[in-house]
Amino acid sequence: MKKRFSIFIKILVVILIPFVTLAVQAKPFKRVLVISGGGINPGLALGMIAGIQSSGWMPDLVIATCGAGIGSIVHNAEKSTEASLQLMKSQEFYKALSEVKIETSSGIALMKKIEKAKDTSIYPDIFTNLLLHSPNSFPKLIKTTEFNTNSAHPKLILISSRSNFGPQDVGQIRNNQPLFQQVYFTDTETAKLLQGWKLPDQFAFPNTTVQKDTLAFGEYDLITAMRAGISDPYLLNPSIVDGHYYFTGAVDLYPIDLALALGDEVVTTYPANLFKDYEDVVFMSAFGFKQTTRALEAIQHKSVKWIDISGMDDLSFNPTREIINMKSGIPDTYSKYEKKITEQWKFGYDRGFEAIKSAPGAAKDVRTHLRKPINPKLRDRFSCENANEWATERRSSCTSDRRDGCDRYSSKKCTPLR
């Protein structure tokens, strides 16, 4: 009896081996790098890719969102990280970025617009009178505008969101239909892999205005795709592609679920800090969820390696406020721009290089103050009252949320334990 059972098991193993092998090989990529945006810092993504490759970890696929798309398309089009950096530092690239201008300089006018954004019963006013204005396209400075399909070069996915409503709908009562659809721009082969992908049921999306079905396009060029993914609601005018309005890749600023579905190993940027109140308001108005909530959800993943990007805000070209008016963050001279791009690249290189040495899920090795809460019910709200459950301590010297992790929702101050 035992002998017959043993023979049966052996036969079963032989039959199942091919199916097990297929399951193991089901993912189309081995290594996936996810670079989230979060500011105008085009040199950051370039440096990050260079640092990761120098550490010996060569990605097969790069997924970029928002501003990270600028550096990512340059890397995708150029032959080497050195050539990519030289192009990014060029006078021509500086001139192209300088075309992004302040559209509404009045801080008071912007605050009124954001205050109106709190009314989520109407279609949001995200088409005109925004903070920044950019041309609908950028000059074709890169060597090729086609998505690179060379097997020796990582493939690229750029995330965007297509609006299901237009300027004519602004201010009217919303219907029950989704307002946005998530879009993936890539090469034709990778686009086929993304067909039928649905957004997972995530903690941050119970009341989302983004439909679950996604779109994947393989017929558009790199520059069109990049421009389509950088327009944050209320911040930058949307891109218009074939009659449709396209907004930010921050519709999924942390596409870790997609990366894990496509690849065996995932390295991704760790949220640098909690989002400001007005940022949560504008994303709630457009997409139906707070980016802070989404960030706290994203860091629950334990099987990815994290790239620490805390401190990058100090190197970005983000707009700043002077008294009551807004000022562009693009350097006013080329020499300042070249210096800043070099600093962004070095920052990205160092953080990318060190990330590969960390263990998957090792958030404790990340410098940023965001941490995985012990109690998952606290993901939506960090405060000093639940600080002990976030492994934090109260400290009177804590003065800045961005630097020290202070509680933004209370007059009390606290900071996470380092």
Residue 11 inside a domain? The answer is no
Residue 381 inside a domain? The answer is yes
| pLDDT for the residue numbered 411 | 35
Out of 351, 367, 383, pick the residue that ends a domain: 367
Using CA atoms, how far apart are residues 305 and 344, in angstroms rounded to an integer? 21
| Dihedral angle computed from the Cα positions of residues 201, 203, 204 and 209, in that order, rounded to the nearest 10 degrees | 40
More confident residue, 367 or 52: 52
Identify whether residues 294 and 407 lie together within a single domain: no
Instruction: Give 117's DSSP letter.
Output: H
Identify whether residues 359 and 402 lie together within a single domain: no
Q: What are phi and psi of 262, to 5 degrees?
A: -95, -25
Out of 345, 367, 389, pick the residue that ends a domain: 367
Identify whether residues 267 and 397 lie together within a single domain: no
Using CA atoms, how far apart are residues 337 and 284, in angstroms rounded to an integer? 33
Identify whether residues 335 and 410 lie together within a single domain: no
Identify whether residues 151 and 221 lie together within a single domain: yes
Identify whether residues 220 and 281 lie together within a single domain: yes
Identify whether residues 187 and 72 lie together within a single domain: yes
Residue 301 inside a domain? The answer is yes
Predicted confidence band of residue 218 (pLDDT cuts 50, 70, 90)? very high
The two structure tokens encoding residue 376: 């998952």
Is the pLDDT at 230 greater than 90? The verdict is yes
Query: How far, rounded to the nearest angstrom, does the alpha carbon of residue 129 sit from its chain's CA centroid?
Result: 24
| Whole-angstrom Cα Rg for the chain | 22
Look at residues 251, 372, 400, 248 and name the one whose alpha carbon lies nearest to residue 306: 372
Identify whether residues 202 and 236 lie together within a single domain: yes
**Mean pLDDT, range 119-134, rounded to an integer:** 94
Q: What is the largest CA-CA distance in the chain?
A: 88
Identify whether residues 276 and 392 lie together within a single domain: no
Q: Which residue segment(s) compose the domain that 389 sits in?
A: 373-418
Residue 327 inside a domain? The answer is yes
Residue 356 inside a domain? The answer is yes
Q: Hunting for tokens 């307002």 — which residue is that?
A: 179
CB 138 within 8 A of CB 223: yes
Residue 18 inside a domain? The answer is no
Residue 1 inside a domain? The answer is no
Is the pLDDT at 14 greater than 80? The verdict is no
Residue 93 inside a domain? The answer is yes
Identify whether residues 209 and 265 lie together within a single domain: yes
Using CA atoms, how far apart are residues 162 and 228, in angstroms rounded to an integer? 9
Query: Which of 32-41, 64-73, 206-215 reaches the highest mean pLDDT?
Result: 64-73
How many domains does the structure of the chain reveal? Answer: 2
Residue-by-residue DSSP string for 118-174: T-TTB----SSS-SEE--SS----SS--SPP--TTS-EEEEEEEEESS-GGGTTSBP
The two structure tokens encoding residue 35: 């670079």
> Beta 320-322 vs 305-308: how paired, if at all?
unpaired
| pLDDT for the residue numbered 404 | 39
**Mean pLDDT, range 400-408, rounded to an integer:** 39
Identify whether residues 107 and 211 lie together within a single domain: yes
Quick one: which H or E segment has residue 387?
Answer: none
Predicted confidence band of residue 215 (pLDDT cuts 50, 70, 90)? very high
Using CA atoms, how far apart are residues 358 and 364, in angstroms rounded to an integer? 10
| pLDDT for the residue numbered 87 | 96
The two structure tokens encoding residue 100: 């992004």
**Mean pLDDT, range 101-120, rounded to an integer:** 92
Is the pLDDT at 49 greater than 80? The verdict is yes
More confident residue, 407 or 49: 49
Identify whether residues 156 and 45 lie together within a single domain: yes
